[in-house]
Structure 1
Amino acid sequence: MKKTILFALIWVAAVACDQKQDAAPQPELKATSVPYRQQTTIAASGSDLKVDLREVNDSRCPKDVVCIQMGSAKIKFNVSDSKNATDVEVEFKGDSKADFQTFTLSGQNYVLKVSELQPYPVSTQTPKIEEYKVNVTIEKK
């Protein structure tokens, strides 16, 4: 009897391991660097969107200073397709779970995610607005 139960458990385990997953793997999105006032094309799940970095209000804690709070940067983009355009604002805190904004363009919902904002502030220097570059990904929702 013990051999029968053991054989049945092994058979069930073998059948369970052999099953294929039906879910197709999601392609990994690559971040695109968007420089200030230089319109950049980003592939967004089959659509090409043009992204223009309009404003950066950077209040992050400089890397050579000890701060009570990390601070954040407010980033404003203009996103357009072949027909319409919209402004998208993201508050970047350096937290991958919160640094995104949903928006609608031509009846389609998208998510714009910011993964990096360069240059990082230093207390002795104030970067010019033209020096900013933002790493962005956009995907259909």
Structure 2
Amino acid sequence: MRIYNHFVTILLGGLLAVGCQGSNENEALPQDRASLVMAASQSARVGQNATLQVEKIEDSRCPANVVCIRYGNVNVSYTLSQETESRQGILCLGDCGNGPQKTRDSTLVQLGSDRYQLVLTEVRPYPGTSPVEVKPEAVIQVKKF
């Protein structure tokens, strides 16, 4: 019985140690690089004094369970602001009109003396993959130079 008690104590102690270990999912990434998941009309702080807002997401990509003549695209309109200065733009994935299909889109934005690189890597869910209507979310990486 003593061996069983020692075994249970060690097992519970190990589980407690693993359970109390910090999760990296909600930790803030370093100031110069972050990956943000944002729906339309949401904003997030970038670094110490800039804010990125997704104004709207327009998704016209061909649904996963349909055969389409053209692939379609998704446009993400954004505003990047810092103090009294702001810049607006659009990031696009898919058939964006010039060149091959884009699987990621990036742009450089200058605000005062700071430069930011915005990279649209994904808009989820992909049309036709969710049985219920889900508000689309853009995954945007932000890097400050």
TM-score (structure 1 length as normaliser): 0.62
Q: What is the deviation of 1:123? A: 9.2
Runs of 4+ residues over 6 Å off in structure 1:
123-126
The answer to whether the Cα contact below 8 Å between 2:63 and 2:127 also exists between their aligned partners in 1 is yes
Aligned length: 108
The answer to whether the Cα contact below 8 Å between 1:41 and 1:50 also exists between their aligned partners in 2 is yes
CA distance in 1, matches of 2:130, 2:121: 25
Percent identical among aligned pairs is 20
CA distance in 1, matches of 2:71, 2:35: 23
Q: 1:34 to 1:79 in 2, by over 3 A?
A: same
2:128 to 122, 133, 138: 122
Q: What is aligned with 2:109?
A: 103
In the alignment, does 2:60 pair up with 1:59?
yes
Q: What is aligned with 1:34?
A: 38
Q: What is the deviation of 1:50? A: 0.9
Structural RMSD (CA): 2.8
Q: 1:30 to 1:108 in 2, by over 3 A?
A: closer
Q: What is aligned with 1:50?
A: 51
Gaps of 5+ in 1: 1-26
Q: Which has the larger radius of gyration?
A: 1
The answer to whether the Cα contact below 8 Å between 1:39 and 1:51 also exists between their aligned partners in 2 is yes
